[in-house]
Amino acid sequence: MERAEHRIIVKRYTHSQTDEWNSFVATCRNGTFLHMRQYMEYHADRFEDHSLMFFRDSALIAIMPAHIKGDLFCSHNGLTYGGILFPDNTTTETTLQIFNALQEYLIKETTAKSIIYKPVPPIYHRYPCEEDIYALFRNDAKLIECKVSSAIKTKDALPFKGRRKLTAAMTSRLSISEEGDYAPFWGILDNRLKSKYGIAPVHSLEEIERLHSFFPTNIKLFTVRDENANILGGTVLYITKNCVHMQYSATTEEGRRISALDYLYEYLIGKLFKEKEYFDFGVSVEEGGKILNSGLIAYKERLGGRAVTYNTYLIDLKTTER
């Protein structure tokens, strides 16, 4: 039986703990820059932050980016992935105790009736870290979203089969560069998303520029230009220790005609980021995974991508005692 003095204490994060939070993220097996407070708080006006910190014997042992939405406790709808973040020494038994402490806290201190939980996919783990997946099973969690992405294992990639092979004459006219000014590409991206899907980018130009200023080594824009320096296409990458994730990509009509992104991807995957473990092209689904964009995922699979899932779980709290 767990001794009282070794019980896990759950506390709500406060702004005064920013440095402690960020330092802890850097020690976690499943933490990335998306969990840093500077990233989480760029859209603080959209989410009522209710992030949690877990302590045992005054030592911080886990953290959870989260917010409250009605009667839902979410980790975290403003992030691609959230979940509980664990350092190297967290065991499976401790993880079960953390989940118990989480539910006790929510029942006692909030009006939440359910937990929305988005674990960090394994391609972002610095070291194996799926204790929370077992804890989800033990707590009767229900899988409510399964978003299929396509990732390449860069050191043992499948054959790269793009739409077409660019000729030497064509590639001699093209140049690839990292961009500091996001505005020209953002115009191309915005036009493409609106014309094809009727939507806007998740981030505004101001937001992505601010995030880039906070994380210049983690958020980068690469473009393909022609001999007249016109942008034909580009991609915004989120770069973590193990994985390069394609957050946005878009081309002009001419860029699509000559398959400029194939040229860019081959360079990024085969040369610039060949030392990373994975290159992730992003999801190809709608409505939480219920609709598969067959054409989009087929293109990514021709480039060598294979399925990685971004899952979301629901845990109903045992609230009968309220």
Which tens digits make up the pLDDT trace of 2-60?
A: 455 579 999 999 999 999 999 999 999 999 999 999 999 887 778 889 999 999 999 99
DSSP assignment string, 286-312: EGGGTEE-HHHHHHHHHTT-EEEEEEE
Question: Residue 232 pLDDT more than 90?
Answer: yes
**What is the model's pLDDT at position 320?**
41
Question: Residue 1 pLDDT more than 50?
Answer: no
Q: How far is CA 164 from CA 299, 302, 306, in A?
A: 11, 11, 20
**What is the pLDDT of the chain when averaged over all its residues?**
93
Per-residue pLDDT tens over the stretch 292-317: 999 999 999 999 999 999 999 999 99
Per-residue pLDDT tens over the stretch 266-293: 999 999 999 999 999 999 999 999 999 9
**Residue 112: which pLDDT band, with cuts at 50, 70 and 90?**
very high
- Comparing C-alpha atoms, which of 322, 320, 311 is closest to residue 141? 311
Q: Any idea what the Cα angle at residue 183 is, between residues 181 and 186, rounded to 5°?
A: 125
In sign, the C-alpha dihedral spanning 221, 283, 204, 71 is: negative
Do residues 227 and 173 touch, judged by C-beta distance below 8 A? Answer: yes
235 residue type, one letter = T
Residue 48 pairs with which residues in a beta bridge?
A: 68
**Residue 124: which pLDDT band, with cuts at 50, 70 and 90?**
very high
- Within 13 Å, how many C-alpha atoms sit on residue 253's CB side? 1
Question: Residue 318 pLDDT more than 90?
Answer: no
Token pair of 284 as six digits:
């190809």
In sign, the C-alpha dihedral spanning 10, 19, 116, 153 is: negative
**What is the model's pLDDT at position 159?**
87
Terminal-to-terminal C-alpha distance of the chain: 26
**What is the model's pLDDT at position 44?**
72
What is the helix (H) or strand (E) element at residue 164, kind and residue range?
none
**What is the model's pLDDT at position 322?**
35
Question: Residue 146 pLDDT more than 50?
Answer: yes
Residue 315 pairs with which residues in a beta bridge?
A: 115
Across the range 209-228, mean pLDDT stands at 97
- pTM over 0.85, yes/no: yes
**Residue 321: which pLDDT band, with cuts at 50, 70 and 90?**
very low
Separation of alpha carbons 26 and 63, rounded Å = 12
Per-residue pLDDT tens over the stretch 158-170: 988 766 667 776 7
